Structure 1
Amino acid sequence: MSVQAEWIAVDWGTSRLRAWAMADGAVIAQAHSDQGMCCLQPDAFEGALLALIEGWLTGGTTDVVACGMVGARQGWMEAPYVAAPCPALPEQLVQVPCKDVRLRVFLVPGLKQVQPADVMRGEETQMAGFLSQNKSWDGVICLPGTHTKWAHVSADEVVSFRSFMTGEMFKLLTQQSVLRHSVGAGWNAEAFQAGLDMTLSRPESLASELFSIRAGDLLLGTSPDVATARLSGLLLGAELAASRPYWLGQQIAVIGESSLAGVYAEALKTQGAWVEVVDADAMTRAGLQAARAQVS
């Protein structure tokens, strides 16, 4: 089947490249590769993109709108951060010079916050997608991931945001710390809730509670599924305790992959929060659609 894209939406992260062929606001084809920003030199980006999307190009020029780490300093071309408070979708995209005349590539800038220092790339596009479908929405948007973002949104602007390394900490602790000997596959809802409750009420106990996971394995034979769930609960509880000024008393949208977003949503609901869960891929495409509308 021949695919002729009206335009192409791209989410180009550190480790993955994903693209969607778009026509009449709908996805008509999609493709992905492992050619993320981390494994490419600046002069290799165009070739990596063409290898994925060349079959979608028409005889004329096709617009490509990309978000994520492709616009980082180490990426294809730097799309400088825009300082918050600001719209989730910056007014000016960055155009990349291309050798192939069939391509017209635009990068979505990330957002920065000077005090306290913070940055994001890619999440701003997901927020822009959500706000494009929820006009005049005020509240807090949570974007779970390796570096989870919490953003206060009001009057169609990102007022402020904070990042939490919870996802990366979980990976490091389960793969490189002493806890790697105690965790494993599986899940235990009761252990997760106990860990969550502990650090939500006493976040200062996190470091000690983490080691108790190893001790519980050695002395009590705690099963790997219980250990893993408790670790997840302890880390998320500490994050929710620190981010409480953002979410307490606010309406909250959690934008993410369904299983992880669901964990965040259920944890917030135990605290009486009103939460809706939104698919991350759909919001990425919606944000890129909004960005494409800005291209003249």
Structure 2
Amino acid sequence: MSKDIAPDWIAVDWGTTNLRAFAMQGATVLARAQSEDGMGKLSADQFEPALAALIADWLTADTVPIVACGMVGSRQGWVEAPYRPVPCTPLADQLTPAPTSGDLDVRVISGLSQAAPSDVMRGEETQIAGFMQLNPGWDGVLCLPGTHTKWAQLSAGEVVSFQTFMSGELFALLSDKSVLRHSLKEAGWEDDAFSGAVNDAISKPERLAARLFGLRAGHLLHGTGAATTRAALSGLLIGAELAAARPYWLGQNVAILGMGRQANAYLAALETQGVPAMLVDTESATLAGLTAAHRQSKAYS
């Protein structure tokens, strides 16, 4: 980082495993910094030193406003930023101040909650806000793939409802901890196996548990390769998710947050059902959301 950088504010995306910071001039990124000081590794008294060390070269004699989103605002984070119940706009006017020694002025964005069925999100609300900034007037459903994938219904500038699926975490657990790990020792991917498994799971989601064990049996009896097994495992889990999330994507405008392998897997899965979707860059949406929170917050007015 350069000591010549003088941002007028700093954007922070602080998740469970990583801390990312952006020196900002309005909506323009002047510099980026990242560390592995995720929320999950820190105790309450370690948050401020971790952030201060990362952005030290950006700090000036004047206090620089800092806006943060993500798990830093969870109950186990730096400060608990209260959930806001949907339906509501993705961002509140007020941000929650984090306790500091006085050298940093950090405000945290609140997450969203849903009473029935019970659900919460933290961090994704900022990405949703950014998506809305980048796509004004857009109504439809936004899919946010991840360890815990979110499907959010957006209308008239509000998050109407949302639903979370643990498909990503299930894939990781089954790949690393279950009997299926013995069939996934090599890398690779097979598109046809993925598409076939998606269709199978959507048509018969009640057979998911049996189909999963069938992947192991196929390897033992027929020598099914790891590439086919891995793709089929992903397809079964995403297909079962799509079956449950059908009211969200059926007949709706759909956008997917992400440009990587997981986002493209959701894109391919939706294509098997004849549903077109657009991919949206995650960093662009996150920064647009953090910028919107900075601009509209009364904390800095």
TM-score, normalised via structure 2 length: 0.96
Counterpart among 41, 50, 57 of residue 52 in structure 2: 50
Which structure has the highest strand share of the two?
Answer: 1
* Aligned-partner Cα distance in 1 for 2:128–2:225: 39
2:134/2:285 contact within 8 Å kept: no
* Aligned-partner Cα distance in 1 for 2:33–2:259: 18
- Cα deviation, 1:213-247, whole Å, max 9, x if unaligned, reads 10011110111111101101111100000000110
* Aligned-partner Cα distance in 1 for 2:29–2:93: 25
Counterpart among 29, 33, 46 of residue 31 in structure 1: 33
- Cα deviation, 1:160-217, whole Å, max 9, x if unaligned, reads 0000000000000000000000013110011111111100111111100000010011
- Cα deviation, 1:65-113, whole Å, max 9, x if unaligned, reads 0000000011001001000011011222111232143x21110000000
Q: Give the counterpart letter for 1:205 in structure 2.
A: R
Structure 2 equivalent of residue 21 of structure 1: 23
The alignment of Structure 1 onto Structure 2 pairs a total of residues equal to 295
Counterpart among 290, 293, 296 of residue 294 in structure 1: 296
* Aligned-partner Cα distance in 2 for 1:217–1:153: 42
Q: Give the counterpart letter for 2:226 in structure 1.
A: P
Q: Give the counterpart letter for 1:190 in structure 2.
A: D
C-alpha RMSD over aligned residues: 1.0
Three-state SS of the structure 2 residue aligned to 1:8 is: strand
Structure 2 equivalent of residue 229 of structure 1: 231
Structure 1 equivalent of residue 215 of structure 2: 213
1:254/1:265 contact within 8 Å kept: yes
2:79/2:99 contact within 8 Å kept: no
Q: Give the counterpart letter for 1:89 in structure 2.
A: L
1:257 Cα offset (Å): 4.2
1:25 Cα offset (Å): 1.6
| 1:242-281 matched pairs, under 5 angstroms | 242-281=244-283
1:187/1:226 contact within 8 Å kept: yes
* Identity value in percent: 55
2:10/2:66 contact within 8 Å kept: yes
Q: Give the counterpart letter for 1:112 in structure 2.
A: S
Counterpart among 83, 86, 89 of residue 84 in structure 1: 86
**Structure 2: which 5+ residue stretches go unaligned?**
none
Structure 1 equivalent of residue 197 of structure 2: 195
Structure 2 equivalent of residue 116 of structure 1: 117
1:258/1:279 contact within 8 Å kept: no
**Structure 1: which 5+ residue stretches go unaligned?**
none
1:274 Cα offset (Å): 2.6
1:145/1:256 contact within 8 Å kept: no
Q: Give the counterpart letter for 1:187 in structure 2.
A: W
